[in-house]
Structure 1
Amino acid sequence: MNTPINGNDLKELGYPEGTLVGLALRINKKRNGYNREEMFMHYKAVLEHPENYIDDKVFSKLAIAIIEKANEKPEDFIQLNKNPNAFSAYGLENIEEGARKQMEVAMQLPVTIAGALMPDAHQGYGLPIGGVLATNNAVIPYGVGVDIGCRMALSVYDIPEFFYYENEDKFKRELIAHSKFGAGHGFHGQYKSDHAVLESNVFNENTFVKKLKDKAWSQLGSSGGGNHFVEFGIMEFEKDDEILNIPKGKYVALLTHSGSRGLGATIAGHYTKLAKDTCKLPEVAKNLAYLDLNSQLGQEYWLAMNLSGDYASACHEVIHTKMEKALGATVLAKVENHHNFAWKEMYNNEEVIVHRKGATPAAKGLMGIIPGSMTAPGFLVRGKGEENAINSASHGAGRQMSRTKAIKSITKTDMQTILKDHGVTLIGAGLDEAPMAYKDIHQVMAAQQELVDVVAKFTPKMVRMADDGSHED
């Protein structure tokens, strides 16, 4: 088997995130006659005994870099806390070791107050996806994530379940007409939408963000790539919900998942680089570089992050408004929540900055949506305000397979079979988004019963995703 070696493979061998992984991967491209197993053997050996490889024609650069890293003076870096507080974790037995280790490192930051790991957690960059971190007056761009303000939005219509099955062609037509997917894709000319978010002062006050306004305008109302979707499904309330004023029953609903598109991604990349330049952390914590909120850079990022969140919300609003008009339906309830964001909140009677990277806000009484996969149900939930979880819950089922592994191990026939078994119509999406690539949503929900109450269940019926292989999630 000649599967390419990737960064996660090297991290499992003990390579820290950062430059060493990149250097090792460049060597792997050449292979120099070694097979995969032999490369693993050498990677392990050079990490443990780099001195033996200083003159090696293949691994000498990596060996020297490892030695240099080991000899960097600790005083060159901000020191990590050697006795960090423990973090709360939910469904820990089903969370990969890489995510747990990343959370342990995050807890060592000198600005960290508290942390929690949600049951859908998996390894990311810096803070794991599914990680929640409360800090003291500091914001971590990679603790927020690349897709700033990514969110779920739900519209429950006054349309009974049977109407969907009698008019599937109409729903398919409207879904295709009023959604647009693909990394970098947007609208042009008369098809562009307008929204008040484009008048934000941040576009005028921040010269870097100002350059992104035209792109933001063209992408307004689009959904990007990766795990983003626009889908119709059946929302089932098993009992009357007095707060939403919705009687028991089954209704057609629209559920969307996407974020701040090129605007948020470009802002995230820009301020992550600046954070790394100004906040020198040891290699293992490099991607957790933070900005002091009392600094000019910290304030710039905070305003740009909030603009990205408002923009992501506007994208959903455009889609939902178009669909409401196209269907001629009345919306009984709208629910929206976001993740990949940082909030100022109270924790243990002090104001902290709460980062939720792939985690749903779940303060007491707060509504949210936790999706499963294209064939697994999602859940409309109400938060319980669990302080040990820093008022948070999972943001979905969470991946159990990397995109690469999913593409290699799942066939089109497998995917078509499971879609047919669940009566789901799929428009777009690659094998990397197959339902089997995700954890069992029921297992995830069982692990967070103390975090949220389930209000209603959403069963996907018609799903649209990017079909160009773009991974903007």
Structure 2
Amino acid sequence: MAKLRLRGKDLIDIGYPQNTSISIAMEVMLRHFKRESKDKVLSLLKEVLLDPEKFKGDGMYGKIAEALMGAKKTEARKLNATRAPFTIFGENEIEEGAKEQLFTALKLPISKAGALMPDGHSGYGLPIGGVLATANAVIPYGVGVDIGCRMCLSIYDINPSFIDGHKDKYTNILQTQTKFGAYEVHKSPNDHELFERDAFKNIPFLKKLKDKAFQQMGSSSGGNHFVEFGIVEVLEKDNQFKVPPGRYVGVLSHSGSRGLGANIAKQYTTLAMKQTPLPAAARHLAWLDLDTHDGQEYWIAMNLAGDYASACHHDIHKRIAKALGERPLAMVENHHNFAWKETINGEELIVHRKGATPAQENVLGIIPGSMTAPGYIVKGMGNAQSLNSAAHGAGRQMSRSQAKQSITQSELKKVLKDNGVTLLGAGLDEAPMAYKDIAKVMANQTELVTVVGTFLPKIVRMDRG
């Protein structure tokens, strides 16, 4: 069948008003119905025109209906002259560029409050370690490219001496049961109930991403993502994960939503930048109003990506548990690239945590160090000044390019040997020296979290780098 030829005049002829509804309708139909007849396409568009309320929120036609019902105009947005209230933790350890990024975000007309965690460093849009509360709006780059990036720890009733005594076994488990980077996937991915979600059926953009998401299930991205065996030490007697104080074998993973999250971030950041144009310094902070079709669609997509990231971690941990022939005593996990609806000062706001750990009162989380430094199992203290947040790791003190230029392979091998760590994969950009001192980071957030346990890496698997 010939390719669809659709003109604005065709839509005007069937009654479409001469506004953005025409360009939006043409974009939707040419993308999804390019092999259909013009008569069929115009008939579908006529249905939407006659009763746009009926199609409000529809994955295919919702945006057209919104335009027909009089959506808000696209107009350049100005930054406020003053910043929303904020607090910076460990300010002396944070580079000026990261602070400036937070200060810019605090001037958005939608911003209500902000904070910067002690592991903070520069990123895109919000700084890494940045927390921002906004009114009825979500910033895709405030969530980040790796939506739902998270930590997951399984604790096993195995004597930690087994890691050294059976190093070959543990190394082989990581090499065979974990996959990293853009091209490594499991030969037989495990299915999951989330692939039956309505979002994958009703939102055309997500429908196209489903097959790749299925193929990547149970795998990890490159960069700073890892799966590692290590030694867990539980310090608190009456803890929420019900493991007695002592030393155990642990499996710790760090990864996110793979290609699914990256594509969602790209798509909706582009839409946000078109809908809320901002000055150059703030352009990556463009937002989507949650009263709009695109805002609601991103919210659904973001939550799907977060659930997918969680499912990937659970898949990884199940594979490792099966290879170990053991069941974990407990699992502790948390997101750190996400947005939540939370009540701040009596008002429901959208709280973005880009590289920040949720730390509401008594909520558990994991804050990793570098591949040779301890990580921490923590319990939130519900500090209002941090918007109930804490650091998500040690934080970088060198950019990736700086690390590659200034750290040698021999230096990396020495620090690994000195700390008794076996490394599988990873480039120089992930060397421990590229990261801040996790002890300093933790010292700068004693009012945010309580430490209930530690994790010391022993065998670390990462992408080849």
Q: Same fold (TM over 0.5)?
A: yes
1:386 to 376, 383, 386: 383
Alpha-carbon distance in 1 for matches of 2:303, 2:239: 32
Q: How many Å apart are 1:242 and its aligned residue? A: 3.8
Moved over 4 A (4+): none
Q: How many Å apart are 1:183 and its aligned residue? A: 2.3
Q: How many Å apart are 1:248 and its aligned residue? A: 1.6
Q: How many Å apart are 1:454 and its aligned residue? A: 0.2
Matches within 5 A, 1:79-158: 79-158=78-157
User: Which residue number in structure 2 is paired with residue 187 of structure 1?
Assistant: 186
Q: Does 1:323 align with 2:320?
A: yes
Alpha-carbon distance in 1 for matches of 2:115, 2:358: 12
- Relative distance call for 1:221 and 1:431 in structure 2 (3 A) is same
User: Which residue number in structure 1 is paired with residue 21 of structure 2?
Assistant: none
User: Which residue number in structure 2 is paired with residue 375 of structure 1?
Assistant: 372
User: Which residue number in structure 2 is paired with residue 166 of structure 1?
Assistant: 165
Residue segments in structure 2 that go unaligned for 5+ positions in a row: 1-73
SS of the residue corresponding to residue 160 of structure 1 reads coil
Q: Does 1:301 align with 2:298?
A: yes
Q: How many Å apart are 1:168 and its aligned residue? A: 1.2
Q: Which amino acid aligns with 2:109?
A: P
Alpha-carbon distance in 2 for matches of 1:376, 1:140: 33
Q: How many Å apart are 1:76 and its aligned residue? A: 6.1
Q: Judge conservation of contact 2:124–2:141 (CA < 8 Å) in 1.
A: yes
With the length of structure 1 as denominator, give the TM-score of the two structures. Answer: 0.82
SS of the residue corresponding to residue 251 of structure 1 reads strand
Alpha-carbon distance in 2 for matches of 1:186, 1:106: 37
SS of the residue corresponding to residue 331 of structure 1 reads coil
Q: Judge conservation of contact 1:184–1:262 (CA < 8 Å) in 2.
A: no
Alpha-carbon distance in 2 for matches of 1:182, 1:108: 37
2:270 to 268, 273, 279: 273
Matches within 5 A, 1:15-414: 77-188=76-187, 191-414=188-411
Q: Judge conservation of contact 1:117–1:130 (CA < 8 Å) in 2.
A: yes
Alpha-carbon distance in 1 for matches of 2:387, 2:378: 17
Q: Which has the higher mean CA deviation after the structures are superposed, 241-250 or 108-117? A: 241-250
Q: Judge conservation of contact 1:149–1:338 (CA < 8 Å) in 2.
A: yes
Alpha-carbon distance in 2 for matches of 1:465, 1:95: 27
Q: Judge conservation of contact 1:112–1:135 (CA < 8 Å) in 2.
A: yes
Alpha-carbon distance in 2 for matches of 1:105, 1:314: 35
- Relative distance call for 1:344 and 1:375 in structure 2 (3 A) is same
Q: Judge conservation of contact 1:239–1:249 (CA < 8 Å) in 2.
A: no
Alpha-carbon distance in 1 for matches of 2:178, 2:83: 46
User: Which residue number in structure 1 is paired with residue 453 of structure 2?
Assistant: 456
Per-residue Cα deviation, 1:355-395 (whole angstroms, up to 9, x for no partner): 00000000000000000000000000000000000000000
Q: Which amino acid aligns with 2:327?
A: T
| Identical-residue share of aligned pairs (%) | 60
Q: Which amino acid aligns with 2:178?
A: S
Residue segments in structure 1 that go unaligned for 5+ positions in a row: 1-74
Alpha-carbon distance in 1 for matches of 2:122, 2:100: 9
Alpha-carbon distance in 2 for matches of 1:265, 1:231: 24
Q: Which amino acid aligns with 1:148?
A: I
Alpha-carbon distance in 1 for matches of 2:332, 2:230: 15
Instruction: Give RMSD over aligned pairs.
Output: 1.1
Q: Which has the higher mean CA deviation after the structures are superposed, 212-221 or 75-84? A: 75-84
Q: How many Å apart are 1:169 and its aligned residue? A: 1.1
Q: Judge conservation of contact 2:338–2:354 (CA < 8 Å) in 1.
A: yes
- Relative distance call for 1:454 and 1:177 in structure 2 (3 A) is same
Q: Which amino acid aligns with 2:131?
A: V
Q: How many Å apart are 1:241 and its aligned residue? A: 3.5
Q: Judge conservation of contact 2:236–2:245 (CA < 8 Å) in 1.
A: yes
Alpha-carbon distance in 1 for matches of 2:126, 2:242: 38
Aligned length: 392
Q: Judge conservation of contact 1:185–1:224 (CA < 8 Å) in 2.
A: no
SS of the residue corresponding to residue 270 of structure 2 reads helix
Alpha-carbon distance in 1 for matches of 2:155, 2:239: 15
SS of the residue corresponding to residue 146 of structure 1 reads coil
Q: Which amino acid aligns with 2:284?
A: N
Q: Which has the higher mean CA deviation after the structures are superposed, 158-167 or 317-326? A: 158-167
Q: Judge conservation of contact 2:119–2:393 (CA < 8 Å) in 1.
A: yes
Alpha-carbon distance in 2 for matches of 1:423, 1:441: 18
- Relative distance call for 1:425 and 1:241 in structure 2 (3 A) is farther
Q: Which amino acid aligns with 2:337?
A: N
- Relative distance call for 1:184 and 1:304 in structure 2 (3 A) is farther
SS of the residue corresponding to residue 174 of structure 2 reads helix
Q: How many Å apart are 1:239 and its aligned residue? A: 4.3
SS of the residue corresponding to residue 158 of structure 2 reads strand
SS of the residue corresponding to residue 233 of structure 1 reads strand
Per-residue Cα deviation, 1:3-39 (whole angstroms, up to 9, x for no partner): xxxxxxxxxxxxxxxxxxxxxxxxxxxxxxxxxxxxx
Q: Which amino acid aligns with 1:247?
A: P
Q: How many Å apart are 1:160 and its aligned residue? A: 1.4
Alpha-carbon distance in 1 for matches of 2:184, 2:212: 10
Q: Judge conservation of contact 1:121–1:128 (CA < 8 Å) in 2.
A: yes
Alpha-carbon distance in 2 for matches of 1:115, 1:185: 38
Q: Does 1:417 align with 2:404?
A: no
Q: Which amino acid aligns with 1:155?
A: S
Q: Judge conservation of contact 1:203–1:213 (CA < 8 Å) in 2.
A: yes
Q: How many Å apart are 1:184 and its aligned residue? A: 4.2
Alpha-carbon distance in 2 for matches of 1:285, 1:224: 28
**Is the radius of gyration larger for structure 1 or structure 2?**
2
Q: Judge conservation of contact 1:187–1:218 (CA < 8 Å) in 2.
A: yes
User: Which residue number in structure 1 is paired with residue 48 of structure 2?
Assistant: none
